[in-house]
Amino acid sequence: MKIFIDTANLAEIKEAASMGLLDGVTTNPSLVAKEGLEFKPLLKEICKLVDGDISAEVVATDTEGMLREGRDLAKIDAKIVVKVPLTKDGLKAVRTFAAEGIRTNVTLCFSPTQALLAAKAGAYIISPFVGRLDDISSDGMGLIQQILTIYDNYEFDTQVLVASIRHPMHVVDSAMMGAHIGTMPFSVITQLIKHPLTDLGLERFLSDWKKSQK
Ligand code: G3P
């Protein structure tokens, strides 16, 4: 499973990339707004730091506007994947982008029917939001299983990117189900590494070693 970081923060991206485990970056308008930096220069910096897909989202809500913004974003770097919301206008834009060879990440997916339509439109990536579904007492990971089954049934190439990951169990379940990508905040990437028994074991090894050296 590919691991993406869900942030527009350069320090976090740099740190995760230095671990050698980063396969890509997802951003969204909220994450970019938090950084208080200009969008395009920020994307250029991110592209320099990571060798992988970098999702950049359009903010227009009509097809023409999405096409205009998306074409512009795609010109920044070959790594850019244009993020488009899962709306009627969005699906129209995805079809045109696919015909033009521009890769899309269809975001704000909350149902299997939405995912089916995105794949039929030619999406490169579909982003179902598991955490936000869990928040409203729906089964986020259940949606991932449904989408994987549907895509498998019809041999769609669209990659399933598990978005809105909140904790390591979302990552474990995604990998068990065979999702293609998981995008997560830096805090979750850090949690994936940690285990109290690793810390305790290391502490004991080092203290035993120290004692033997006297
Ligand atoms: O980038 C999309 C998604 O991962 C957002 O997650 O935590 O805001 O629901 P969250």
Can you give the pTM of this predicted structure?
Answer: 0.96
Report how far residue 211's alpha carbon sits from residue 209's, in angstroms, rounded to the nearest whole number: 5
Q: Would you place residue 180 in the very low, low, confident or very high pLDDT band (cuts 50, 70, 90)? A: very high
Provide mean pLDDT across the span 13-36.
97
pLDDT tens, residue by residue, 112-133: 999 999 999 999 999 999 999 9
CA dist 41 to 44, 47, 76, 191, 196, Å? 5, 10, 9, 30, 40
User: For 161, phi and psi rounded to 5 degrees?
Assistant: -105, 115
Task: Determine the pLDDT at residue 214.
Answer: 75
What sign does the dihedral 110-115-117-119 (CA atoms) show? positive
Cα torsion at 37, 53, 115, 62 (round to 10°)? 40
- Spacing, Cα 37 to ligand 1 middle (Å): 19
Classify each residue of 143-172 as buried b or exposed e, where b means 16 or more C-beta atoms within 10 Å of its C-beta: bbbbbbebbeeeebebbbbbbbbbebebbe
CA dist 110 to 57, 181, 202, Å? 17, 17, 43
Task: Determine the pLDDT at residue 197.
Answer: 98
Residue 83 designated active-site:
yes
Rg of the chain on CA atoms, in Å: 19
The domain locations on the chain are 2-212
Looking at ligand 1, which residue's alpha carbon is closest to its atom 10?
A: 164
Task: Determine the pLDDT at residue 113.
Answer: 98
For domain 2-212, which architecture applies? Alpha-Beta Barrel (3.20)
| Residue labelled with tokens 């990971």 | 141
Instruction: Give the 3-state secondary structure of residue 57.
Output: strand
From 3, 5, 6, 136, mutation site for ligand 1 pocket: most ligand atoms within 8 A of C-beta:
6
